[in-house]
Amino acid sequence: MTDLTGKTALVTGSVQGIGLAIAKALGGAGARVAVHGLASEADAEAACAAVVEAGAPEAKFFEGDAADPEALGVMMAAVEAWGPVDILVNNAGIQHTAPLAQMPKETWAKIIDINLSAAFHTMQAAMPGMAARGYGRVVNIASVHGLVASKNKAPYVAAKFGLVGLSRVAALEYAGEGDAGSGGVTVNCIAPGWTETAIIQPQIEARAEAEGGDRAAGIASLLSEKQPSKRLSDPSEIGALALWLCAPVAHNVTGTTIPVDGGWTAQ
């Protein structure tokens, strides 16, 4: 059901964390994977090696500043020349917390550029080709903050809400392309809650210290404020969901936003 042999996938922001987990899941199903990010040569090589080790027939690193539309255009042209993009996963993103009144204007602009505008540019470049071939998958990694708000995250929440809206528009525009046999063209969002990534480790360590060194208790304490399950998701779980959304069997799943948040957005 999830055989992606012969398909080419581009996963932005895929040298670590959720992006790398998705790249490995798609590669493990047989897709060639274009790895992307701002990374050292060693980190880029390590990410590609991990994707190949997971089962990808080929993985290649492509550099491109997600905040720069021209750089993204050059990158997209290079990826399309390597292999027409059948699967596009927009995962690249940044975060900065500050009250609205104190949020630097340049920070607002950069978060919107990377978390929202970059997805528009990559989708605009890749989706016409998907439609022409009758098969295409766009999976945009949103966030619970694309469904609910939190204080001190104005640009991030605005970008993620915008990403959900952008995805719905694209899903409607491309819903009639292809058919069940070819797989059709779909656009969906995944909205992770608390997920085990490097970016939250300092918060976990601080809570664990407050709980006498008990990491599990620290995680439960941290998550209890938002996530009823009090359990972190593993990036591989996000990868597994992205893989299913990319399978031909998911041809009629489009325009959705699927939370992976332990009940956060159900409250």
Q: Which domain holds residue 39?
A: 8-196+233-266
Give buried/exposed letters for 171-186 (b at 16+ CB in 10 A, else e).
beebeebbeeeebbbb
Quickly tell me which residue has 């050059």 as its tokens: 74
Considering the domain boundaries, does residue 217 fall inside one? no
Is 174 annotated in the active site? no
- DSSP lists the bridge partners of residue 89 as 11, 139
- What tokens were used for 207? 């809570």
Quickly tell me which residue has 């994707």 as its tokens: 51
> Considering the entire predicted model, what is its pTM?
0.95
Decide if 90 contacts 119 (C-beta within 8 A).
Answer: yes
211/193 Cα distance (integer angstroms)? 22
Considering the domain boundaries, does residue 221 fall inside one? no
Considering the domain boundaries, does residue 211 fall inside one? no
The amino acid at 115: N
Is 90 exceeded by the pLDDT of residue 177?
A: yes
Q: Which of 156, 161, 194, 264 is catalytic?
A: 156
133/101 Cα distance (integer angstroms)? 47
243/216 Cα distance (integer angstroms)? 29
Considering the domain boundaries, does residue 154 fall inside one? yes
CATH number of the CATH domain containing 153: 3.40.50.720
Report the pLDDT averaged over residues 43-52.
98
Considering the domain boundaries, does residue 35 fall inside one? yes
Considering the domain boundaries, does residue 222 fall inside one? no
Considering the domain boundaries, does residue 106 fall inside one? yes
**Within 10 A of 16 (CB to CB), how many other CB atoms are there?**
18
Spell out the long-range contacts of 225-230 with Cβ–Cβ below 8 A and sequence spacing 24 or more: 226/144, 226/193, 226/194, 226/264, 227/193, 227/194, 227/261, 227/262, 227/263, 227/264, 228/262, 228/263, 228/264, 228/266, 228/267, 229/262, 229/263, 230/262
Considering the domain boundaries, does residue 79 fall inside one? yes
Which pLDDT does position 202 carry in this prediction? Answer: 82
Which pLDDT does position 199 carry in this prediction? Answer: 77
Percent of the chain whose predicted confidence (pLDDT) is above 90: 92
- pLDDT (tens digit, 9 = 90+) per residue, 250-259? 999 999 999 9
Is 90 exceeded by the pLDDT of residue 190?
A: yes
Residue 42 backbone phi and psi in degrees, to 5 = -65, -45
User: How many structural domains compose the chain?
Assistant: 1
Which pLDDT does position 203 carry in this prediction? Answer: 84
Which pLDDT does position 138 carry in this prediction? Answer: 98
Confidence of residue 1 (pLDDT cuts 50, 70, 90): confident
- pLDDT (tens digit, 9 = 90+) per residue, 126-152? 999 999 999 999 999 999 999 999 999
Decide if 90 contacts 122 (C-beta within 8 A).
Answer: yes
- pLDDT (tens digit, 9 = 90+) per residue, 194-249? 999 887 888 899 999 999 999 999 999 889 989 999 999 999 999 999 999 999 99
What DSSP character marks residue 73?
H
Percent of the chain whose predicted confidence (pLDDT) is above 70: 100
Decide if 148 contacts 141 (C-beta within 8 A).
Answer: no
